[in-house]
């Protein structure tokens, strides 16, 4: 399910609209994930607090969403552009790739909450495809 030219332009345009709220979106998506899918907390046993709005969640949400913003800029070659991040996830973090889908879902829910009129069905499918492509690029080095 590769990204068409239309998908790419929809993603870029929408990301432009959400850029100013990027940190908050990342934090909220991560917070939702940790509550709605508690098994994901297993990756954060080193955090004193995994509740929504807590400092580690806010910080990490910002990191993740920032990286996604970078990925938008590399949308024409995600596997190449995310190579270092793929190394990180494959060899150091070893996050089960099933969780990429889970986080993606929570990003989509957060976008729906904050951009109810901009997050149309067409934008939704483009962003969903983009997040899936990023997930595939991150899992590229896993085995």
Partner 1 sequence: MVDWTDFERSTILDIFSKMDYDTVGPKSLARCLVVYPWTQRYFGNFGNLYNAAAIMGNPMVAAHGKVVLHGLDRALKNMDDIRGTYAELSVLHSEKLHVDPDNFRLLADCLTIVVAAQMGAAFTADVQAAFQKFLAVVVSSLGRQYH
Token pair recorded at residue 16: 């432009």
47: region left, alpha or beta (phi > 0 left; psi from -120 to 50 alpha)? beta
- Residue recorded with tokens 């508690």: 38
Under rule CB under 8 A, residue 125 binds partner 1:
yes
- Residue recorded with tokens 């709220």: 21
* One of 18, 31, 68, 75 touching partner 1 (CB under 8 A): 31
- Complex with partner 1: residue 77 or 118, whichever CB lies closer: 118
Number of residues located near partner 1, criterion CB under 8 A: 20
CB of 75 to partner 1, least distance (A): 19
Under rule CB under 8 A, residue 19 binds partner 1:
no
Which residues inside 53-82 make contact with partner 1, applying CB under 8 A?
A: none
Under rule CB under 8 A, residue 102 binds partner 1:
no
Cβ neighbours of residue 103 closer than 8 Å, sequence gap 6 or more = 29, 30, 33, 40, 64
Under rule CB under 8 A, residue 113 binds partner 1:
yes
């Amino acid at each position: 399910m590769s990204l068409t030219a239309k998908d790419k332009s929809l993603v870029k345009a929408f990301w432009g609209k959400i850029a100013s709220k990027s940190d908050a979106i990342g934090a909220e998506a991560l917070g939702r994930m940790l509550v709605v899918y508690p098994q994901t907390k297993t990756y954060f046993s080193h955090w004193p607090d995994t509740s929504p709005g807590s400092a580690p969640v806010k910080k990490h949400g910002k990191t993740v969403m920032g990286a996604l913003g970078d990925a938008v800029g590399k949308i024409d070659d995600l596997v190449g552009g995310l190579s270092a991040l793929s190394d990180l996830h494959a060899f150091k973090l070893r996050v089960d790739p099933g969780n990429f889908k889970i986080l993606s879902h929570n990003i989509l829910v957060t976008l729906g909450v904050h951009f109810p009129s901009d997050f149309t069905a067409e934008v939704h499918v483009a962003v969903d495809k983009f997040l899936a492509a990023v997930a595939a690029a991150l899992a590229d080095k896993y085995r």
